A = this chain, B = another copy of it.
Amino acid sequence: MTPTRPVFYISDGTGITAETIGHSLLTQFGDTRFATDRIPFVDTPDKAREAALRIRAAGEAAGVRPIVINSCVDNELYRLLAESGGLMLDIFAPFIEPLERELGQPRTNRVGQAHGMVDFEAYHRRINAMNYALTHDDGMIMDFDDAEIILVGVSRAGKTPTCVYLALHYGICAANYPLTEEDLEADRLPQKLRGHRHKLFGLTIDPVRLQQIRQERRPNSKYSQMDTCRREVAQAEHIFQNERLTVLSTTHTSIEEISSKVLTTLGIHREMF
């Protein structure tokens, strides 16, 4: 059996960029098992030396060469980390030189900037959007004028996590509207959503999956019965179709994918945090 391969995400900042690209790379090597670790805020030679020792020790314990996915931009830190003996994959290096040439300027040597707080206004928007998502969750506040997006669907179809994700990562005020028994019986969207048609996006879900989720929330209730789930999903989908809403099934879709598709569909472009 192949030994489990140690992987280290090293950064002078949070390490989020290194881990994001590293994770994407490793998923392309499905046959190997990886044991990943993160060493953030490596911003001094001492911390780099310490990280290198940890990496070396992990390699010796595993009996196999560690992989180092590194986003430290400083040459000296890089050199110290390389002394770990690990396979160094420097995630920025290959792109710096082509960008410098194309832009006609040298890169500025700023350490750990990507997920630092550089822009107060943007940060503020992000926190406001987050508060918005939390106060406009689950139909708590029914004023949708400030919403940029309104997710519509039956209870537990995936609306809340998506709204929170959109707020945290795009600073977008996303509300969600759970279709009520009354809406489902009336077979149409409620009046209060009608003025906001261009903001609406429907989420649906496989009834079997919905039943599992609801069963965990409220075991053995009418809410979590298979019949209820089937009926509600069918009624909701009928409404979506009649009202010509774009609909996405969340059953096999990650929060990231749902968010990305909602933004693309509604034509909203916002830089990611």
Decide yes or no: A99 and B67 within 8 Å by CB, A108-B30, A254-B115, A260-B40 being known contacts. yes
Contact count band on A? 35 or more
Instruction: Spot the interface stretch: A141-149, A157-165, A189-197, A231-239.
Output: A157-165
Q: Is the pair B24, A130 in contact by a Cβ cutoff of 8 Å?
A: no
Q: A67-B102, A164-B164 are in contact. Are A113 and B28 (CB under 8 A)?
A: yes
Give Cα distance in the complex from A126 to B107, angstroms: 37
A17 and B14 contacting across the interface, CB-CB below 8 Å: no
A103 interface residue (CB < 8 Å to B): yes
A31 touches B260 (CB 8 A): no
Whether A269 and B38, one on each chain, are in contact in the complex, defined by CB atoms closer than 8 angstroms, is yes
In the complex, chain B residues whose CB is within 8 Å of the CB of A27: 110, 113-114, 118
Which of A48-56, A77-85, A87-95, A221-229 participates in binding chain B?
A: A87-95
Given A21-B20, A161-B130, A168-B165 in contact, is the A28-B256 Cβ separation under 8 Å? no
Q: Mark A161-200, 1 if CB is under 8 A from B, else 0.
A: 1001100100000000000000000000000000000000
> Is A1 part of the contact surface with B, judged by Cβ < 8 Å?
no
For A269, the chain B residues whose CB sits under 8 A away are 37-38
Contacts of A113 in B (CB 8 A): 24, 27-28
B32 touches A103 (CB 8 A): yes
Closest residue of chain B to A137, judged by CB?
B134
Asked whether, in the complex, the Cβ of A257 is within 8 Å of the Cβ of B14, the reply is yes
Contact at B264–A105, with CB atoms within 8 Å?
no
Q: Say how far A88's CB is from chain B's closest CB, in angstroms.
A: 9
Within 8 Å by CB of A92, from B24, B40, B96, B115, lies B24
Tell whether A204 is near chain B: CB-to-CB under 8 Å.
no
The reply to whether the CB of A253 lies closer than 8 angstroms to some CB of chain B is: yes
Contact B40 A264 (CB under 8 A): yes
Q: Is A244 an interface residue (CB 8 A)?
A: no
Q: How far is the CA of A28 from the CA of B95 in the complex (A)?
A: 11
* Cβ-defined partner of A15 (8 Å) among B114, B115, B117, B260: B260
Partner of A94, one of B17, B94, B115, B252: B94
In this assembly, does A25 line the interface, its C-beta being within 8 Å of a C-beta of chain B?
A: yes
Q: Can you list 12 residue pairs at the A/B interface with Cβ under 8 Å?
A: A16-B272, A17-B21, A24-B113, A28-B107, A28-B110, A29-B99, A32-B103, A89-B99, A116-B254, A126-B161, A134-B134, A164-B164
Kindly list 5 other residue pairs between chains A and B, CB separation below 8 angstroms, not including A20-B21, A65-B102, A91-B95: A16-B256, A28-B92, A38-B269, A67-B102, A117-B257
Q: Kindly list the 3 A-B residue pairs having the minimum CB-CB distance in the complex, ordered from nearest.
A: A24-B114, A115-B256, A94-B94
